[in-house]
């Protein structure tokens, strides 16, 4: 009962139901991020292993990035270079893949120089 009365009191507070001054009704403000799918990345794992990795990923970029294709190419090259240094032991275990995802996201944002918002892993296969 106290929660319901507190909820109702919040709506009855003066000015709580009035629209904001700078927004007109039916006005929508949207900014759409750009999602670019990277070409599939295939790399051999480190330590002389016979295993290889196939990674399909997408990069989420800020809207209206002028050199998006160049940024995606640099990110793809950097991910290939990084995956060649990863061993199978680093990927195994309950937290191995999560740590790898964090490393890949960090590298993508560093290469993107602030234009990269996220790295989405679509498929990750070790064979």
CA dist list (Å): 61 to 34, 101, 102, 123, 126 = 5, 17, 17, 19, 27
Cα 82 from Cα 89, distance rounded (Å): 15
Q: Which residue is associated with the tokens 């290889």?
A: 52
Percentage of the chain modeled with pLDDT above 90: 50
What pLDDT digit, counting tens, does each position of 95-121 carry? 999 999 999 999 999 998 888 999 999
Match 């990269």 to its residue by tokens. Answer: 116
CB 69 within 8 A of CB 125: no
- pLDDT exceeds 60 at position 2: no
With CA atoms as reference, report the closest residue to 72 among 33, 102, 111, 100: 111
pLDDT exceeds 60 at position 19? no
Read off the pLDDT of residues 22-69 as tens digits, 9 standing for 90 and up.
656 666 656 788 899 999 999 999 887 789 999 999 999 998 888 889
Using 50, 70 and 90 to split pLDDT, how confident is the model at 18?
Answer: low
């Amino acid at each position: 009962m106290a929660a319901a009365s507190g909820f109702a009191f919040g709506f009855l507070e003066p000015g709580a139901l009035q629209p904001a001054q700078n927004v007109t009704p039916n006005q929508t403000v949207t900014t759409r991020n750009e999602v670019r799918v990277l070409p599939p990345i295939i790399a051999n794992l480190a330590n002389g292993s016979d295993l290889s990795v196939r990674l399909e990923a997408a990069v989420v970029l800020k809207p209206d990035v002028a050199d998006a294709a160049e940024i995606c190419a640099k990110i793809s090259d950097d991910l290939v270079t990084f995956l060649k240094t990863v061993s199978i032991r680093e990927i195994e275990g309950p937290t191995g893949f999560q740590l790898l995802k964090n490393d890949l996201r960090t590298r993508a944002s560093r290469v993107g120089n602030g234009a990269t918002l996220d790295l989405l892993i679509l498929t990750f296969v070790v064979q």
